[in-house]
Amino acid sequence: MSILCGLPLLECVYCLACARWVWKRCLHHGGHDSETWGIATAEEFEPVPHMCRYILAVYEDDIRHPVREPPGGYGINPDFLILKRNYVDTFGRAPPYLLYLDHDHADIVLAIRGLNLSKESDYAVLLDNKLGQKKFDGGYVHNGLLKAAVCVLDKESDVLEELVEMHPNYTLTFTGHSLGSGVAALLTMVLLQNRDKLRHIDRKRIRCYAIAPARCVSLNLAVRYADVINSIVLQDDFLPRTATPLEDIFKSLFCLPCLLCLRCMRDTFVSEEKMLKDPRRLYAPGRLYHIVERKPFRCGRFPPVVRTAVPVDGRFEHIVLSCNATSDHGIIWIERESQKALELMHEKDKVMEIPAKQKMERQKTLAREHSMEHKAALQRAVTLSVPHAYSPSEYGTFDDHEDESEHSDESSKRKAPSGSSRGNKAKESWDELVNRLFEKDEAGHIVGIKSQDR
């Protein structure tokens, strides 16, 4: 009898606990993820808006006669458009992309479009993955996106090598949106591990901007490549926060908002320590830039603020229950809000009347601060026992050249077959690299990744 009397009390406690969970989840908004991060400067954020416009240009059939041009245009001179590939050119193994020689910014840009909902080949790239299926450079990556990245490099390596040689002072930038962001990020990582294929291009000349990125690399790789890869997230965007494998999302019978809500409830009860120690769990790559434009319990959009950091824990771990979770993923909105944010940064600089000399000094200081932040993130990853993470030199030095050499040496040891020398690897061509790492059909098309770890 006494037990039966206690049941109503237990029910009340259970209902209160559920109400508390719902209240906490409803109070969590996109701005919480980056509230402790630093504010980005105009110098570091300036490439983002025109990278978004380059990606939008991929959607045009004829760049000389655009039909969906954003305000202000794409900023592309058609005479310097090196090439533009569609699904026919890539045989559906990679999304469409373009290669542009940007003389205004001294940059060689390869821009990759996002997911095409009407193309089965894009879904095939997304679905070609299982947790822990593919290892790369001591971590895990998305198998299908890695295959698409190598497909692009295999096709365009000669053109890239020629452009890099002709313009030794230009940077080499890879950028993409959504599905294309994952391809661009992994393409960058593959190239960094094989820089000798582009005449030993300096690591500092290579960079990547992943717009609305997919989770495509394990945590140790996400932090390790933060000096080269930059991910841009608009407020409540669902994709960088969705730890659910992409293949589960598109195979699900549930609608996307319902699945996100269910995943949100599940992640709430999983400890962050358990998440960090799962070596197969994938994350958005590199340094993160978070564009925040809405405030809780406020209507409308506010002047956007851009925050940046190289976080290890608290790296967009929780989905935001927001009606804007899917709209914030759109490349059009990201281009508009990033341009507004950049204009506000420039206006602030004008008000402060910063002299040109001080701006140059600030750029050097910014590069030094980013290097120190990257070093601290690597150290924190080791402190938190992130699988396969390693810290910089124990003597406190963080020389870029030495760091590159360590990465290159480790990569060579992992990649070189037994009995081969470092000198032989340096002479390896792109064709030999692809043949060693990937399986091809009779027509010479990439059909899979060989089972050996790299």
* Nearest to 220, CA basis, from 258, 182, 189, 199: 189
Q: Is the pLDDT of residue 379 over 60?
A: yes
Give percent helix, percent strand, percent coil of the chain, each to the nearest 5.
50, 15, 35
CA distance 305 to 324: 17
Residue 77 has φ and ψ, to the nearest 5°, of -90, 110
What pLDDT sits at residue 446?
A: 59
* Distant-in-sequence, close-in-space partners of 152: CB < 8 Å, separation ≥ 6: 90, 94, 97, 110, 112, 183, 187
What pLDDT sits at residue 23?
A: 55
* Nearest to 91, CA basis, from 172, 34, 155: 155
**How far lies 38's CA from each of 43, 56, 398, 412, 414, in Å?**
14, 29, 22, 36, 36
Query: Identity (one letter) of the amino acid at 426?
Result: A
Q: What is the H or E stretch that residue 290 is in?
A: strand 287-292
Q: Is the pLDDT of residue 87 over 70?
A: yes
pLDDT category, 241, cuts 50, 70, 90? Answer: confident
What pLDDT sits at residue 418?
A: 37
CA distance 283 to 231: 11
Please return the burial class of 200, using the count of CB atoms within 10 Å of its CB with bins 0-12, 13-18 and 19+.
exposed
Residue 90 has φ and ψ, to the nearest 5°, of -95, 0
Q: Is the pLDDT of residue 373 over 50?
A: yes
Distance of CA 232 to the CA centre of its chain: 8
